Structure 1
Amino acid sequence: MTVVDAESPTIRDSAQPNPAVFASWRARAGALLLDVLPGAALLATTALVALSVPLRGAWWWVCVSIGAATVLSTALNRLVLPATARQSLGRAVFGITVVHRNGTPVGAWWLLLRDLAHLLDTAAMFAGWLWPLWEGRRRTFADILLRTESHLLEPRWPEPKLRRFTSALVLGVALLCGAGAALSYVVVHQHDRSITDASEQIAQQGPRMVEQILSYHPETLKGDFDHAQSLATDSYRPQLTAQQQAVQKSGAIRNEYWTTNSSVLSATADRATMLVFLQGQRGAPPDQRYITASVRATFVKSGSLGWRVDDVAVVTKPQPPQARP
């Protein structure tokens, strides 16, 4: 393609930047969006998904890999490709290129400085980005600082291939963003559902488990203690065993509790904490006495075994009901 110079009858090759013809603000904005927006959208999506999935899990590493590849490819497109092919993808679509004021090509490091200098355009209430609308050479603050300009330049890549590649790229990024959003929704929904299920399960099973851990009868002492140990996790069982041995040495008497109220304090898919308010009786008639106590119980879900008691901490020691605050 050729262009006739209005001031001279000579014909110039339009593949060379024409210092007399500067890229319009609209073309520059479109090129910038095409260069940056797909990568920014994909990076934001992978960041959101990475925050949704388990840390350092398989999906987390997939997100990190895609994010790193996105940053690298965006940098190659914005810095390396223009230094070698004169145009980034976005600039090729809109037919522009970035050059020094004397028309010589701009290297990768200078393009990096120019992108960093665009922070000045943003810091000035975005006035720098709008400056080309009325500045004679259509420069931003970054262009003025680094003495660069955006000139018209016909695409060096075959236009049909360029259009197909650009369309495929934008469509691919859109599909990845959609898939990432769907994955994030599913993971978050499942996580919330698992927490709700855990809270409901502990609200139903927790009080009864605490009652069975703390209650025992002299005539069925061994069976009560064995059952209590079957409700405990491996980490809590030694502590429970030591308490049971102390009861046996001191002479076991009837000790029975029942729940008057309870509340789930916190819950995840496999761990929960509950506050349990208890009433009970200690001893047998006619020497029995009624008592109240409050405990904070921790539960852990252990695969097919279900929920197990991981700790029972006394909040309010057993005392007669009338002495309760």
Structure 2
Amino acid sequence: MNTTSTEKQADTREPLDSRSLIGEASGNAIPEGSSTKEAGESPRACRQTALIPAASRYRYIAGIFDWLVPAVIAAGVITGNTIADHSPRVFPTSVIAVIAIAAYVVWNSVIVQGSTGRTIGKRAVRIRTVQAGGPHSPGYKGAVGRAIAHVLDTVTFVGWLRPLWNARRQTFADSISGTIVISDIDTDGRACRAARVINCGILGAVVLSLAICVGASYLLQYRPATEVESARDGATQAAAEGTQAVLSYEPQTVEDDISTATNRLTGEFLEYYSTFAQQVVIPTSKQKNVAMRTQIAGTAIESISSSTAVVLVYVNQTATSQDSPNPATTQSAIRVELQHDSDDRWLISKFDPVI
């Protein structure tokens, strides 16, 4: 009878709560009925049993992860702007980059950290920000206040180093906002595996974002800037050779010279030059033995894109005729506008003497 009674008493005992054992082992008993899960967190989230300050090195590694995306975006934009120089794409691209960085910082440091205590970097190294009085996320207001307080850490710089010697590993911002960065202690193997999957997914998303930023920088800035740079030499050469052809002819070959020149022209200027040459230049050259010889003294790019260019061409002209056999030399500058056609040729569309 005594044995049976003892067995029945043993069967009626409540099973030991694993959380109580863990709490006792860590020196912090967990009150009955309390939950180790934060509000709004997944049931698979790794549980926290004690407010153990995270090692300083993990905070710094997390910071590197968090600022990797803005750093790559900024580096890409700065590099692209340097290459693009005075391209009209520089300003809008810079504005988009600033907006993107600001949106990322607000999302990562305020929205995500305020609700879960973890940023991308903190999740990667398994640490999180909680209220100093208990294992609860700081909330949106707390995250905003902490972000603003980080200004003091940045201005003094000592604030960022303070976790190296502070007993609770707090920066000035942590002390002001009443937060502490702790290590996540895992008690559920499935939760740990889920966390690793989440971390891998976040890392993949970061890598994808970086690839998108690099690709966008290449397509929006580097590639157009490279195209413009390669077009610079072609446009300059076309302007010089076209100007020389338009302003040079001999009485014996004037018709061929005019034909050669028209092959370098386009648009309204082609029509004007063809008419003027047939009605004035060819008859005058043949009747009065007029010859024009032009040498290019220099060129200067005024503006250029992948499809249009404006080039200043400086020329020295020598004219002879039957009435004036002695060469008469003049110097002038021509403002030449060019268009890039589908056959990869630069053609003169406008021809205006400047001096």
TM-score by length of 1: 0.69
1:121 is the counterpart of 2:153: yes
1:22 matched residue in structure 2: 53
Structure 2 distance, partners of 1:240, 1:183, is 44
Structure 2 distance, partners of 1:216, 1:3, is 100
Aligned length: 304
What amino acid maps onto 1:83 in structure 2?
Answer: G
Indicate how the Cα distance of structure 1 residues 160 and 174 shifts in structure 2: closer, same or farther if over 3 A, else same: same
The structural deviation recorded for 1:175 is: 5.8
1:311 matched residue in structure 2: 351
1:101 matched residue in structure 2: 132
1:206 matched residue in structure 2: 239
The structural deviation recorded for 1:127 is: 1.1
Structure 2 distance, partners of 1:233, 1:184, is 34
1:82 is the counterpart of 2:113: yes
The structural deviation recorded for 1:279 is: 2.9
Structure 2 distance, partners of 1:241, 1:225, is 8
Deviation digits for residues 6-41 of structure 1 (CA, Å, limit 9, x no counterpart): 667x4678735635x32221222233333x134224
The answer (yes or no) to whether the contact 2:291–2:320 under 8 Å persists in 1 is yes
Structure 2 distance, partners of 1:296, 1:261, is 11
Q: What's the secondary structure of 1:158's corresponding residue? A: helix
1:166 matched residue in structure 2: 199
Structure 1: gaps of 5 or more residues:
316-325
Structure 2 distance, partners of 1:140, 1:160, is 31
The answer (yes or no) to whether the contact 1:209–1:231 under 8 Å persists in 2 is yes
The structural deviation recorded for 1:85 is: 3.2
One of 279, 297, 300 as aligned partner of 1:262 = 297
The answer (yes or no) to whether the contact 2:69–2:210 under 8 Å persists in 1 is no
The structural deviation recorded for 1:298 is: 1.9
Deviation digits for residues 142-174 of structure 1 (CA, Å, limit 9, x no counterpart): 122223222344369922232233234334534
Q: What's the secondary structure of 2:342's corresponding residue? A: helix
The structural deviation recorded for 1:5 is: 5.4
Q: How does 1:1-325 map to 2 (within 5 A)?
A: 2-4=22-24, 10=29, 15-16=47-48, 18-19=50-51, 21-34=52-65, 36-44=66-74, 47=77, 51=81, 64=96, 72=103, 74-103=105-134, 104-124=136-156, 126-154=157-185, 158-174=191-207, 177=210, 181=214, 188=222, 191-192=225-226, 195-196=229-230, 198-200=232-234, 202-203=236-237, 205-215=238-248, 231-234=264-267, 236=269, 255-266=290-301, 268=304, 269=306, 270-285=308-323, 289-304=327-342, 306-309=345-348, 310-315=350-355
Deviation digits for residues 55-85 of structure 1 (CA, Å, limit 9, x no counterpart): 669xx98x95x98667545533332233333
The answer (yes or no) to whether the contact 2:23–2:49 under 8 Å persists in 1 is no
What amino acid maps onto 1:116 in structure 2?
Answer: I
Structure 2: gaps of 5 or more residues:
1-18, 37-46
TM-score by length of 2: 0.64
RMSD: 4.6
1:320 matched residue in structure 2: none
Identity of aligned residues (%): 19
Indicate how the Cα distance of structure 1 residues 255 and 210 shifts in structure 2: closer, same or farther if over 3 A, else same: farther
The structural deviation recorded for 1:281 is: 1.3
The structural deviation recorded for 1:300 is: 1.1
The answer (yes or no) to whether the contact 1:100–1:149 under 8 Å persists in 2 is yes
The answer (yes or no) to whether the contact 1:280–1:292 under 8 Å persists in 2 is yes
The structural deviation recorded for 1:131 is: 0.7
Structure 2 distance, partners of 1:82, 1:191, is 39
Structure 2 distance, partners of 1:120, 1:206, is 58
The structure carrying a bigger strand percent of its residues is: 1
Structure 2 distance, partners of 1:160, 1:215, is 80
Indicate how the Cα distance of structure 1 residues 240 and 86 shifts in structure 2: closer, same or farther if over 3 A, else same: same
Q: What's the secondary structure of 1:160's corresponding residue? A: helix
Deviation digits for residues 69-113 of structure 1 (CA, Å, limit 9, x no counterpart): 675455333322333334334334444332333335411132122
Quick check: 70-79 or 273-282, which moved more? 70-79
Indicate how the Cα distance of structure 1 residues 107 and 233 shifts in structure 2: closer, same or farther if over 3 A, else same: same
2:44 matched residue in structure 1: none
The structural deviation recorded for 1:3 is: 4.1
Deviation digits for residues 199-233 of structure 1 (CA, Å, limit 9, x no counterpart): 25643x43442233234678998997787666445
For the pair shown, which has the larger CA radius of gyration, 1 or 2?
A: 2
What amino acid maps onto 2:176 in structure 1?
Answer: L
